[in-house]
């Protein structure tokens, strides 16, 4: 009798071959609508997807939304309409490697590049001389910190989950979501392709591993540039606000909140209901939006 692992291997090869040739599922109507209402601009030959909605009449305020890992601008779909009732312009993009933006391979993905892409979008829209409000989440927090370091002033900055903070790496662990890798891998071409939760794996395992490894380098970048990015928060005069879900497994309660208040004592904080976790803008869009607008309207 052959070793069990040989039998498993022989069975896996044809199954994998069949799987890789299954056509990707169609995008949901919601994602199709999201994509059709957006546009693309070019940053160094990369096609970057963004949405730009004209909102409240009589307001000149602008908000730029920075999404987290491993998702896309669609993270903001439940509060989009509410934001347009307060802001004149509501803008969100898919970082390169995410969502409907290009996913070049091989490529050295970095927080610095993503920050430059945000700056490029702001210039593309002719808003580089205006005040920008930043609303960020997860991966987008670090991009926001880099933008803050570059002194994109004046800004109002809301940070949802600010990592890493000094001397607290033990508080944070990476939270893997089942199927998360599907949000990153292009459905057909390594260039402009979609995803959100409707993608599927359709490339050789080695290519997928290489792609994900390059994206995940942001974790090491956070460690390497901790002083730069935490320093941007502790030294700025820009108003900071944290909206926090106590059930967040990435930033555990109460340790994270205690440390945040210690490191950034001038930042204001909104704590949502006890059952709210890492995606408050999706889990409690009303509570999240109210907390954010209360902060914005306090100026």
Sketch out the chain's domains with CATH numbers. 38-163+204-241 (3.40.50.1820)
Element at 92 (helix H, strand E) = strand 89-93
Cα-based distances in Å from 59 to 83, 90, 270? 12, 12, 25
pTM tops 0.85 = no
Query: What residues are paired with 53 via a beta bridge?
Result: 90
Query: And the tokens for 125?
Result: 């829209």
Q: Is residue 242 a contact partner of residue 269, using CB atoms and an 8 Å limit?
A: yes
Q: Is residue 244 a contact partner of residue 216, using CB atoms and an 8 Å limit?
A: no
Q: For every one of its 299 residues, what pLDDT tens digit does the chain have, with 9 covering 90 and above?
A: 456 666 666 666 666 566 556 676 788 999 999 999 999 999 999 999 999 999 988 888 999 999 999 899 999 999 999 999 999 999 999 999 999 999 998 899 999 999 999 999 999 999 988 889 999 999 999 999 999 998 744 344 444 333 333 333 323 222 222 233 333 333 333 343 333 333 333 334 455 566 677 888 999 999 999 999 999 999 988 899 999 999 999 899 999 999 999 999 999 999 999 999 999 999 999 999 999 999 999 98
Q: Is residue 127 a contact partner of residue 63, using CB atoms and an 8 Å limit?
A: no
Element at 243 (helix H, strand E) = strand 240-244
């Amino acid at each position: 009798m052959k070793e069990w692992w040989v039998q498993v291997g022989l069975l896996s090869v044809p199954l994998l071959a069949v799987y890789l040739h299954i056509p990707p599922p169609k995008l949901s109507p919601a994602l199709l609508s999201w994509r059709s209402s957006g546009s693309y601009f070019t940053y160094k030959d990369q096609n970057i997807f963004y949405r730009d909605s004209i909102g409240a009449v009589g307001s000149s305020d602008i908000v730029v939304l920075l999404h987290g890992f491993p998702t896309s601008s669609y993270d903001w779909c439940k509060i989009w309409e509410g934001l347009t009732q307060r802001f004149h312009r509501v803008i969100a993009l898919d970082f390169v490697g995410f969502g409907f933006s290009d996913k070049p391979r091989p490529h050295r993905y970095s927080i610095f590049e993503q920050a430059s892409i945000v700056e490029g979008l702001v210039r593309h829209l002719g808003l580089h001389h205006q005040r920008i409000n930043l609303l960020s989440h997860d991966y987008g927090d670090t991009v926001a910190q880099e933008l803050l370091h570059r002194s994109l002033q004046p800004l109002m900055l809301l940070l949802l989950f600010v990592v890493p903070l000094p001397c607290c790496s033990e508080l944070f662990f990476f939270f893997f979501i089942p199927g998360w890798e599907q949000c990153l891998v292009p459905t057909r071409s390594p260039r402009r392709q979609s995803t959100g939760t409707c993608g599927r794996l359709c490339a050789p395992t080695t290519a997928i591993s290489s792609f994900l490894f390059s994206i995940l380098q942001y974790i090491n970048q956070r460690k390497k540039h901790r002083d730069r990015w935490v320093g941007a928060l502790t030294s700025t005069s820009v108003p900071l606000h944290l909206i926090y879900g106590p059930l967040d497994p990435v930033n555990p309660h109460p340790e994270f909140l205690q440390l945040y208040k210690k490191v950034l004592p001038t930042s204001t904080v909104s704590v949502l209901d006890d059952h709210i976790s890492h995606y408050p803008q999706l889990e409690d869009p009303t509570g999240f939006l109210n907390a954010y607008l209360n902060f914005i309207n306090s100026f």
